Amino acid sequence: MDQTTQVSLLDTTPDERTMATLAHALQLIGWWIAPLIIFSIRRHSRFVSFHALQALLLQIVHVIIVVVLMVLWFTTIFATIFHQTSGQPPEFPAAMFILFPLVWLLFMAMWVGTLTIAILYAIKAGRGEWADYPVLGKLARKMLKMGPMEGRFAPMPQM
């Protein structure tokens, strides 16, 4: 175990590491609800709050993207239906055959990305690391009023 890992383990308890790990891992089955519950229950622990807030922010972004894709999808469906019922002979709905695979691929890419991020950061939280999600980590630190280096390294123990 190198010095930075050993030092960062000193400022988190096993219970904090477990709850932070659960915040990341449970977002896969509990979506935004699991990180929100852990964030609400463990507000006194900055380590758990930081990791749970990151998972919660990721799920909020995920929900926003899903809503945008669904609006796009249903707009295309209704536009195709209204275009077909305008009294003209039915045409081949090219937009549906182009949009459906793209929407499906975006959903699968989001799922794989969320799965990867959840697993990687659950492992890091289990090790006691203050790992930041790309982009969302800075936002979580700002929301929790943490400095950019706060929590990254514990003070060196006196020998």
Asked, for residue 121, whether it belongs to a domain, the answer is yes
Write down the pLDDT at residue 88: 67
Asked, for residue 148, whether it belongs to a domain, the answer is no
Per-residue pLDDT of 96-140, as tens digits, reads 788 788 888 988 999 999 999 999 999 999 999 999 998 898 898
Per-residue pLDDT of 63-84, as tens digits, reads 999 999 889 888 888 887 777 7
- Asked if 27 contacts 58 with a C-beta cutoff of 8 angstroms, the reply is yes
By the 10 Å C-beta count (0-12 exposed, 13-18 middle, 19+ buried), 19 is classed as buried
Tokens of 77: 């469906």
Handedness of CA 66, 134, 113, 18 (dihedral sign): negative
Reduced to 3 states, what is the DSSP secondary structure of residue 75?
helix
Write down the pLDDT at residue 83: 73
Write down the pLDDT at residue 151: 64
Asked, for residue 150, whether it belongs to a domain, the answer is no
Reduced to 3 states, what is the DSSP secondary structure of residue 79?
helix
Write down the pLDDT at residue 109: 93
Asked, for residue 152, whether it belongs to a domain, the answer is no
- Asked if 26 contacts 35 with a C-beta cutoff of 8 angstroms, the reply is yes
Asked, for residue 154, whether it belongs to a domain, the answer is no
Per-residue pLDDT of 10-43, as tens digits, reads 578 999 999 999 999 999 998 889 999 999 998 8
DSSP string, 11-35: TS-HHHHHHHHHHHHTHHHHTTHHH
Residue numbers of the domain that contains 81: 3-143
Average pLDDT, the chain: 83
Total domains in the fold of the chain: 1
Asked, for residue 44, whether it belongs to a domain, the answer is yes
Asked, for residue 84, whether it belongs to a domain, the answer is yes
Closest CA to 19 of 5, 2, 40: 40
Write down the pLDDT at residue 86: 62
Asked, for residue 73, whether it belongs to a domain, the answer is yes
What is the model's pTM? Answer: 0.78
